[in-house]
Structure 1
């Protein structure tokens, strides 16, 4: 059983920092971690959350690398991970997506990350915290099959499936090109991940009713299978997380993302706003 809800408010966490199963992970910039982090938070290098190999650097790391990462942070089967960062939640969401992909179900996102925490004048530390390693093997992971290029080519036109492109409008339209080809997967819907958060409220998530209304107007809702992507499944990890918070049961990330699709000469590509 999870200690906290998926969307965790700073004040709720602040009152329960001594929970024995709690593991707080800071996936932000190391320089900011050194200046201020949550009490007990362990720094995690974001680069370990992806394979990092062109042309699709956002793919999952190898099982052995994931197991080593989980061992290094001291993950146990009943550990509840709370993740946060300093850039609106994308890095933290990528960590939570990786945990989910590897079969670990106890996790939360700290709403607003370090900015919201500081805004509420909650306690911080500056000294680095180090994990007590655990022993996780690749055989212990429950790796879920991921949405890959082959699957998406076969199903992107399905009526009961919607592709949520979480990139900017310029990337979607093809006016900003970040692969061999610019544009989007035909039929995809563009909703920039950054529209999900409110900078005026220290990067906290917008009210869920507002997000749900905006997504529904675009045809993104829980009645369909939702597949989200960006360039490397960094930003779209946050749209995946938002869908999970909204209660979407069939929402998945496409980790190959546009870096894979746009660099493949055989994939169909659309340009323009629609």
Structure 2
């Protein structure tokens, strides 16, 4: 039995949230309201109680309009103690038995929020030239394109590597991510060592989770997401801002 979760999010340049039309999910999670920022452990347990999801359940997370925000919810849950979580495209739901398993509130006490870091950890990583991957588009990364958020500079975190999130995704209707061997090549070609710590960043912490999940699929262990991402870093004028492709 599988619990189907649909995620919704207002995407950049749009005022509408794509919605599934062919199935009725067990749960709808609006990332704008529930999950755009990381939870504390207490907040996570309370939110899972409201959602009525517990670690005994098999969770399938999907979304309409292409892969964008579903990996964010998957990353939150996978790093907190949920062991059976997957992200799939809506067309993959055919044949899946949609029947929500019983919610076990007693299991929520074992959940612990993890998988994210804040600005201080990223400053330290940047100063040490450790691996930071920015999954925004190339023009936004280089600073050639202005950030859409008022007060946020154009550019990127010094010593970070640009890997636009779409390089991890499959064009195949039946798969979300590229095959693992192809993902490994993508990381290798970008000069990323999957055996070393990696911090993923994006514009606001949503699509960074796509890259983080891709790294996990390749077996990387020490992977985290910068929750505030460039919206946090770029708005802090005390922090350095790099431009171009360094």
TM-score category (smaller protein)? 0.7 to 0.9
* Alignment of structure 1 residues 134-149 onto 2, 5 Å: 135=105, 140-144=110-114, 146-149=116-119
Pick aligned residue for 2:47 from 69, 76, 81: 69
Q: Aligned pair 1:175/2:144, yes or no?
A: yes
1:60 is matched with: 38
Instruction: Name the SS for the 1:198 alignment partner.
Output: coil
Instruction: Name the SS for the 1:164 alignment partner.
Output: strand
> In the superposition, relative to structure 1, how do residues 139 and 219 fare at CA in structure 2: closer, same or farther (>3 Å)?
same
State the alpha-carbon separation in 1 of the partners of residues 196 and 100 from structure 2: 42
Q: Give per-residue Cα distances to partners, 1:133-161, cap 9 Å, x unaligned.
A: 664798553123731111111222435x3
Q: Aligned pair 1:117/2:103, yes or no?
A: no
Instruction: Check the 8 A contact 1:146/1:254 in 2, yes or no.
Output: yes
Q: Aligned pair 1:26/2:26, yes or no?
A: no
Instruction: Check the 8 A contact 1:226/1:251 in 2, yes or no.
Output: yes
Instruction: Check the 8 A contact 1:88/1:197 in 2, yes or no.
Output: no
Shift of residue 61, structure 1, vs aligned partner: 3.5
Instruction: Name the SS for the 2:19 alignment partner.
Output: helix
> In the superposition, relative to structure 1, how do residues 253 and 224 fare at CA in structure 2: closer, same or farther (>3 Å)?
same
How many correspondences in the alignment? 236
Q: Give per-residue Cα distances to partners, 1:63-89, cap 9 Å, x unaligned.
A: 454333211222223222111112433
Structure 1 length as normaliser, TM-score?
A: 0.74
After the TM superposition, which of the residue ranges 208-217 and 168-177 deviates more from structure 2? 208-217
Q: Aligned pair 1:100/2:78, yes or no?
A: yes
Instruction: Check the 8 A contact 2:81/2:110 in 1, yes or no.
Output: no
Q: Aligned pair 1:262/2:234, yes or no?
A: yes
2:198 is matched with: 226
State the alpha-carbon separation in 2 of the partners of residues 215 and 229 from structure 1: 15
Structure 2 length as normaliser, TM-score?
A: 0.82
State the alpha-carbon separation in 1 of the partners of residues 87 and 217 from structure 2: 10
Pick aligned residue for 2:22 from 19, 36, 42: 36
State the alpha-carbon separation in 1 of the partners of residues 71 and 106 from structure 2: 22
Q: Give per-residue Cα distances to partners, 1:21-67, cap 9 Å, x unaligned.
A: x322111477633x2126x54222222443xxxxxxx4313545433
Shift of residue 235, structure 1, vs aligned partner: 0.8
State the alpha-carbon separation in 2 of the partners of residues 205 and 124 from structure 1: 19
> In the superposition, relative to structure 1, how do residues 222 and 200 fare at CA in structure 2: closer, same or farther (>3 Å)?
closer
Instruction: Name the SS for the 1:76 alignment partner.
Output: coil
Instruction: Check the 8 A contact 2:153/2:234 in 1, yes or no.
Output: yes
